[in-house]
A = this chain, B = another copy of it.
């Protein structure tokens, strides 16, 4: 049932996934949910086996000299296995999006037109050494009616095999094709490129990982992609901002979890409130390295100078670039120049400025008087998240199950012909 697939060529794995995807597309929600719940049970029942497989990966990774951060991402613990299982059950209870009628109307000639939500087919996921991505991504793809081809890193191969084995067994037990979840075990760089170019098979490729993975996908992929890009997020404190509110938002956005994409990286302050606000901010942000433009340095003597490159950098760290600006236009100009198009917030009491900021800032999410940290699938109520898109086509911002679907026209007539 859960055979090894390592000797099967990629294209053959792909063909099997394609067939499995067709079956899943026509599978009612209840069967998909049963498979998700059963996989959760298997993760918990086999915690020992999962941790054992992970130990092999960890030992190999330690002797290969991975960094402590990399080792941490690779590590499975009982708690992390429980979280993986919980994640599957959480996805199972989200309402099914497949079959949703997005739009429906009757044409003047009586033709009945519907646009119906359908799965994409086969979703490829390419990621790094976090084994929990294996379960999370497969769960979201299964829920949205897609077959998944999972291409993790070689460092996590034993963990991934053990996780995928549970998933495939769960699928088989509820009568669904095990090939709906396929682990790609060939993990050289050339194999990764072949995977990114599997045009006949992969309907959508989702990279989950850091900057170098995304860059490689941008360079090599020929299949359609949805890219979870960088988050160089800005907060602009306007002249009319409630400074206490602004302070709470800046501290939250910078320090609550600095290593994630929706953390703030640059603070822009209107010159009229710069002196008052930066003096508050400097003490509230103790432990954060501040880098300022000339005017910010004048108001916070002793901090480092922010270079052009600093303003363009997603620090993912306790580090914040600061600039003083003349007005809203200067703030939006700065954002247009340096932002990666993820999330930007304004703190203001001025209605016109709030509306202009929302309309004119060209990012996946714009926020008024709220922390950028809310730009996240769970916080925005999507139920689950496969990533946060900074591209404009197909999906933008936090991507839930609907980002893993397409829409099909269904047209019904009574012998209609065109004249």
A contact set with B: CB distance below 8 Å: 22, 25-26, 105, 107, 111, 113, 116, 118, 120-121, 203-204, 218, 222, 224, 226, 242, 245, 248-249, 251-253, 256, 336, 354, 358-360, 362-371, 373-375, 379-381, 391-394, 396-398, 406-418
Contacts and interface: CB of A to CB of B under 8 A. Distances in A.
A201 B394 CA distance: 18
Going nearest first, the 10 A-B pairs with the smallest beta carbon separation are A370-B413, A252-B417, A245-B415, A365-B409, A392-B406, A394-B394, A373-B418, A370-B416, A393-B394, A367-B411
Given A368-B413, A379-B107, A418-B252, A393 B396 contact: no
Contacts of A418: 252, 256, 371, 373-374, 379
A245 B367 CA distance: 56
Give the dominant DSSP class at A's interface: mixed
B409 A364 contact: yes
Contacts of A380: 107, 113, 409, 411
A354 B354 CA distance: 51
A369 B203 contact: no
B396 A22 contact: no
A200 B72 CA distance: 36
A413 B365 contact: no
A97 to B, nearest CB: 13
20 contacts: A25-B360, A25-B362, A26-B360, A113-B380, A113-B381, A118-B362, A204-B392, A218-B222, A362-B408, A363-B408, A366-B411, A367-B413, A368-B410, A369-B415, A370-B412, A371-B418, A374-B413, A375-B411, A393-B394, A396-B406
A204 B407 CA distance: 19
A208 B411 CA distance: 25
B371 A224 contact: no
